[in-house]
Amino acid sequence: MRIDLHTHSRASDGTQSPADLVLAARAAGLDVVALTDHDTTAGWDEAATTARDAGIALVRGTEVSARARGVSVHLLSYLQDPDHATLADELARARASRVDRARSIVERLARDVPITWQDVLDQARDAVVVGRPHIADALVARGVVPDRDAAFAHLLASDGPYHVDHYAPEAPAAVAAIRASGGVPVFAHPAADGRGRVVPDRVFDELADAGLAGLEVGHRDHSAAQRERLLVIAERLGLLVTGSSDYHGTGKANRLGENLTDPQVLAEIVRQGTTEVVGA
């Protein structure tokens, strides 16, 4: 069983439609794929229709933006009730804040490089969540940088001069909101220090107390040493361990299925979740 529990479509900052993402997952030889767009469930219905037709199992989820002790963190929510207001209202608030924040970043960038808000809208197209990758795509289209990676290296860096944060709930509250909405919360790439600061160890204890179900250990942004460390923490706190690609289409080097999750772990996630797996 090949199970990849973290991917993005054009509903957020991936480069493929939800339907094309599901077809790509099947073509990559996956048996199960999770769609986990940032702060939205907008891709769920299209992905589900395609998964049923294509004969691949689909886990519906969301990568929830949050903050822990001032550090930006991502929490994967699996199989929540998408209509439950506790989580849905938080996601809506983050999406609204993301628009204001993206406009602010573009205003700052525009002092030094050619870019307009319309450029970003042209790149975001049918996305319901606007993120820095769309600003990166606008910079690529203008010839300012060659690709998304180059945009993130300086102009869009979290510690760079143009950066602005968006609203995100405190991580323990986000974990509780995911649980209240019937979802299964897994801390995404918790040790990925290549993209900015990571949380101190006591945050793992706080999130476990709040109801965290697991840690995403298998992720390309984790070194072997970081994976070892996370496995020790997961063991100590009784947390599930997942592995995933964090695929964004052509927007990042991550390939579908490059990290996988054990079937027994998925079975436990399904047992704890509210929404059924499509095509299971």
Q: Which of 5, 11, 13, 80 binds Zn ion (CB under 5 A)?
A: 13
CB atoms within 10 A of CB 209: 11
In the complex, minimum distance from the CB of residue 34 to Fe ion, in angstroms, rounded to a whole number: 11
In the complex, minimum distance from the CB of residue 237 to ligand AMP, in angstroms, rounded to a whole number: 26
Cα dihedral 217/78/75/239 (nearest 10)? -50
In the complex, minimum distance from the CB of residue 107 to Fe ion, in angstroms, rounded to a whole number: 25
**Which CB atom, from 181 or from 245, has the smaller least distance to ligand AMP?**
245
**Which CB atom, from 194 or from 263, has the smaller least distance to ligand AMP?**
194
Coil vs helix vs strand at 44? helix
Residues found near ligand AMP in the complex (CB under 6 A): 13, 38, 131-133, 148-149, 152, 195, 248, 251-252
**Which CB atom, from 43 or from 182, has the smaller least distance to Zn ion?**
43
Q: Which residue has the tokens 């300086």?
A: 154
Coil vs helix vs strand at 200? coil
Q: Residue with the closest Cβ to ligand AMP?
A: 131
**Which CB atom, from 188 or from 260, has the smaller least distance to Fe ion?**
188
Sequence-ordered alpha helix ranges (H) in the chain = 18-27, 44-54, 85-110, 117-124, 132-141, 148-153, 171-180, 202-210, 224-237, 263-272
Q: Residue with the closest Cβ to Zn ion?
A: 13
Distances (CA, A) of 29 to 55, 148, 216: 12, 27, 21
Interface contacts to Zn ion, rule CB under 5 A: 13
